[in-house]
Amino acid sequence: MNLPFRYLPEGLQDADAVMRWCVEEPLWQHEHIQMFGRTVVVPRMVAWYGDAGVRYRYSGVQHCADGWPNPLWELKVELARLVDADWNFVLLNRYRDGRDWMGWHRDDEKAMNGVVASVSLGATRGFRLEVGDERYKLDLEHGSVVVFDGRLRHTLTRTRRPVGERFNLTFRCIDASAGHAHA
């Protein structure tokens, strides 16, 4: 069967070390975005890195990258070997517990090339991907990588189950020449 994603359950060599880094180092932010004409605080925390000067704009907010700290650079190199692709930006999401989530959406900004390599660290959480009438459900485990076309509708679901913290790192390729990628 031809699936619209590739799931590598134990894709990463040193998931524990990257997770420790995620707890300690990034400057995690509460993000405010525009939705249906209103400003809302997103139910998770975010951070981002990438090639210096690369800008990724979504939901009315500009995100400008300023380089790759280790271990993210090493992780990017590892992923490029696993999946035959390369990225110039990574968006980090921190889901503090089961109440943090991400609603159905598409990452279909003009500047974004479709292929996303999405790394999961920490608690297992439910991910859904929709292609036409089909819905696919994946439980994303610690140290896993899922590769998919970010332009497909997808969501990270909420849960009432007591779950620990989870980090998600989506490696993306932003086209710097697409007009609206720059401020």
Q: Where on the chain is the footprint of ligand AKG (CB under 6 A)? A: 91, 93, 102, 107, 118, 127, 140, 154, 156, 168, 170
Instruction: Give me the residue whose beta carbon is nearest to ligand AKG.
Output: 168
Complete DSSP assignment for 139-177? EEPTTEEEEEETTSEEEE---SS----EEEEEEEEE-TT
Pull the structure tokens for residue 107: 């990452």
Our CB check for ligand AKG shows the closer of 68 and 154 to be 154
**H-assigned helices in 64-119:** 72-82
Residue 93 CB, shortest distance to ligand AKG, in Å, is 5
Nearer to ligand AKG, 88 or 93 (CB): 93
Given the complex with ligand AKG, which of 21 and 102 has the nearer CB atom?
102
Q: Which is nearer to ligand AKG, 5 or 175 (CB)?
A: 5
Minimum distance from CB of 127 to ligand AKG (Å)? Answer: 5
We find the least distance from the C-beta atom of residue 120 to ligand AKG, in angstroms, to be 6
Buried b vs exposed e over 64-73: b needs ≥16 C-beta within 10 Å?
A: ebeebeebbe
Any idea of the CA torsion for 123, 96, 162, 13, to the nearest 10 degrees? 10
The distance of Cα 155 from the centroid of its chain, to the nearest Å, equals 11
Unique residue bearing structure tokens 């999946």: 83
What is the smallest separation between the CB atom of 20 and ligand AKG, expressed in angstroms? 19
HSE-CB for 102 with a 13 A CA cutoff = 25
Nearer of residues 102 and 111 to ligand AKG, judged by Cβ: 102
Q: Shortest Cβ distance from residue 175 to ligand AKG (Å)?
A: 17
